[in-house]
Amino acid sequence: MKNFEYVKPSTMEAVADILQQYGDGAKILNGGTDLLVRMRDNLIKPQVVVDIKGISELRKIEYTEEGLFIGAAVTMNEVICSKIVLEKYRILAQSAHEVGSYQLRNRATIVGNVCNASPSGDTIAPLYVLSAKVKIFNKDGIRLVPIENFILGVRKIDLKSGEIVLGILLPPIKGQNGGSYYKHARRKDVDLATVAVAAFCNEGQWKIAYAAVAPTILRGPKAEEILNSLSEVDENTLIPAMDAATSEVTPISDVRAGKEYRLDMIRISLKRAVLAALELYK
Amino acid sequence: MKHEISFTINGEKVHLEVEPNKTLLKMIREDLNLTGAKEGCGAGECGSCTIIIDGKAVNSCMMLAVEADGKDIMTVEGLAKSGVLDPLQDTFIKNAALQCGYCTPGMLMSAKALLMRNPNPSEDDIKEAIGGNLCRCTGYKVILDAIKEAAGQIN
Ligand SMILES: Cc1cc2nc3c(=O)[nH]c(=O)nc-3n(C[C@H](O)[C@H](O)[C@H](O)COP(=O)(O)OP(=O)(O)OC[C@H]3O[C@@H](n4cnc5c(N)ncnc54)[C@H](O)[C@@H]3O)c2cc1C
Ligand code: FES
Ligand code: FES
C-alpha cells in the first residue's frame, strides 16, 4: 500500500472541504472493506484518506414520518440487529446478512456497498425494490436521489466533487407487504453472488430487481407486470415471470459462472425469491 | 506523516506512532510483537487475522493501525489470564481442534466474541460466527465440538 495522509474530520463541512481540495486524490474511508483491498492491490493510490467514522450523525438509524434513515457509517451487523429494520424492512437485513462473513459485517456498511456500486452488491437490489433514496450532502445543501438514478455503472455513481453520502432513506411502507432476497452463490460465506433476485410485494404490486446479471442492478418490469396480472401467484402460475426474467437480463461469463448457467439460475432465483416473499406477506 | 495513537490491548495501555499505510495486523505483529494473529490472505477472506475490538470480532488486515486510536483490543495473547487458559483454549486442546494451528488464533477470537455476546449459541450461531474463518486441516467438526463444549453444551 502506497503511503497517504489520513484525516478524520468531525464535521461534514470539513470532509467536503478536503474532497473539494484534493478531487480524485481524496478517498472516503468507511468500513474500508472495499477501499483497503483496492489500495492494498495498488489499484488506487489516494493522496488523502478521509475517515468519516468520527461524524456522529452518520452513525444514526432513525425512523421518522419520512421513513427510515440509515446513516452512512451504520454497519451491516447494526442493520441486521436493528428492530425497526427487522420489523419493517426485513429484506434489507436479510441481504445484509448475505455479505461476506460475520467479522466483515462488523465493519462493512450499506452505504459503502452502494457507493462501491458492484453489480453483485448484495444490499443494492433490496434497496431498489424498497424504493430507497440516497441522501447526499454538499456545502450548498442536501439532495435526495432515487437509488436507481444514483447507480450509473460498475463503480460509477452520481456523486459530484465535494459530495458525501449522508445515508439511505427508506420510505414508509403502507399496507400488506412482504419481501425476500435470494442469493445464489458457490458457498454460504465469503462469496459474491453468482446471481441474485430481490422480490417485494406491497398491496399486490410486485417489484423485482436482479443482481450480478448486468453492469448494474436491474429492475424487472416484465416479470413485475406478469406477477401483477396474476390472480394467484404460486409455483405454477409464476412460470411466465421466470421466462420473462431470462429475457430482461444480460449476464456475462466469468470465474463464478457461465452466461448460460446464470440465465438458468436467474429463473430459479426469481421463483425462490417470489415464493419466499409470499410466505412473509402480511 | 506519522500519527500518534493510544489504545488498550489485552488490558495494557499503549502509545505509538504509526504510518497511515500500516494495517492494524502489521502493527500488532511487528510493533507490538504479538504474533498470534496471522496474515493468511490480507484481504478479508480467511479470518486468520481476527481480533476483538470493543467486543466485536474484526479482520485486522482490513483496518488501518490509525483506526485503532481509542479502541479496546483483545488478541489471542489476551485470552489466558495469569497462566490459566480460557475455557475455549482448553476445549480446543481437548478436542484436537487444530492441526497446523495457522487458523487457530483467528478461530479462537471469533469463538470468543460469539460467547461474549451469546453464551449459549446454537449450532447455526456457531457456524455464522466462524463462517469467515478458513481451516484447511481439521474439517471444522472438531472446532464446532470444541466451541459447544466451551459453551457448556457437551462435556
Ligand atoms: C472478503 C470480502 C468479502 C466480501 N463479500 C461481499 C458480499 O458477499 N457481498 C457484497 O455485496 N459485498 C461483499 N464485499 C464487498 C464489501 O465488503 C461491501 O461492498 C461493503 O458493503 C463495503 O462497505 P465499506 O463500508 O467497507 O466500504 P468502504 O470500503 O469504506 O468504501 C467503499 C467505497 O465507497 C466510498 N464511500 C464509502 N462511504 C461513502 C460515503 N458516505 N460517501 C461517498 N462515498 C463513500 C469509498 O470511498 C469507497 O470507494 C466483500 C469484501 C471482502 C473484502
Ligand atoms: S489475513 Fe485477514 S482475513 Fe485473511
Ligand atoms: S489447523 Fe491448519 S488451518 Fe486450521
Inside any domain, residue B115: yes
Q: Are residues B70 and B28 in the same domain?
A: yes
End-to-end Cα distance, chain B: 53
CATH of the domain at B48: 3.10.20.30
Q: Show which of B78, B111, B130 is a domain's final residue.
A: B78
What is residue B155's predicted lDDT score, i.e. its pLDDT?
61
Q: Are residues B69 and B14 in the same domain?
A: yes
What is residue A187's predicted lDDT score, i.e. its pLDDT?
83
Closest CA in chain B for residue A187: B131
Say how many Å lie between the CA of residue B70 and the centre of ligand 2: 23
What is residue A1's predicted lDDT score, i.e. its pLDDT?
87
- List chain A residues with CB under 8 Å of B121: none
Chain A interface, best mutation among B39, B51, B64, by max A CB count within 10 A: B64
Domains of chain A: 5-51 (3.30.43.10), 56-170 (3.30.465.10), 177-280 (3.30.390.50)
Q: Which residues line ligand 2 (CB under 6 A)?
A: B 39-42, 44-49, 59, 61
CB spacing of A3 vs B21 below 8 angstroms: yes
pLDDT digits (tens, 9 = 90+) for B18-49: 999 999 999 999 999 999 999 999 999 999 99
Answer yes or no: are the C-beta atoms of A189 and B135 closer than 8 Å: no
pLDDT digits (tens, 9 = 90+) for B106-150: 999 999 999 999 999 999 999 999 999 999 999 999 999 999 999
Q: Are residues B92 and B136 in the same domain?
A: yes
Name which of A12, A16, A113 is nearest A53 in CA terms: A12
ipTM given for this complex: 0.96
pTM above 0.90, yes or no: yes
Choose the residue to mutate in B92, B103, B107 for probing ligand 3, maximizing ligand atoms within 8 Å of C-beta: B103
Q: Are residues B94 and B119 in the same domain?
A: yes
Q: Nearest CA to CA, how far is B57 from chain A (Å)? A: 5
- Percent with pLDDT over 70 in chain B: 99
Choose the residue to mutate in B135, B144, B147 for probing ligand 3, maximizing ligand atoms within 8 Å of C-beta: B135
Q: Are residues B25 and B65 in the same domain?
A: yes
Number of domains in chain B: 2
Q: How far apart are CA A81 and CA B112, in angstroms?
A: 19
| Exposure letters B52-62 (e unless 16+ CB within 10 A, then b) | bbeebbbbbbb
Domain residues for the domain of B95 are 87-150
Q: Are residues B91 and B26 in the same domain?
A: no
What is residue B154's predicted lDDT score, i.e. its pLDDT?
75
CB spacing of B110 vs A102 below 8 angstroms: yes
Q: How far apart are CA B53 and CA B117, in angstroms?
A: 13
CATH of the domain at B96: 1.10.150.120
Q: Are residues B74 and B21 in the same domain?
A: yes
pLDDT digits (tens, 9 = 90+) for A179-229: 999 999 988 888 899 999 999 999 999 999 999 999 999 999 999 999 999
Name which of B134, B120, B127 is nearest B41 in CA terms: B134
Inside any domain, residue B155: no
Q: Is the CB of B136 under 6 A from ligand 3?
A: yes
Q: How far apart are CA A13 and CA A118, in angstroms?
A: 28
Q: Which three cell numbers stand for residue A111?
A: 452505504
Q: Show which of B58, B78, B98 is a domain's final residue.
A: B78
Q: Nearest CA to CA, how far is A9 from chain B (Å)? A: 13
Q: Show which of B52, B78, B104 is a domain's final residue.
A: B78
Atom of ligand 2 lying closest to residue B47 CA: 3
Q: Which three cell numbers stand for residue A40?
A: 492494498
Encode chain A (282 residues) as per-residue pLDDT tens digits. 889 999 999 999 999 999 999 999 999 999 999 999 999 999 999 999 999 999 999 999 999 999 999 999 999 999 999 999 999 999 999 999 999 999 999 999 999 999 999 999 999 999 999 999 999 999 999 999 999 999 999 999 999 999 999 999 999 999 999 999 999 998 888 889 999 999 999 999 999 999 999 999 999 999 999 999 999 999 999 999 999 999 999 998 888 889 999 999 999 999 999 999 999 998
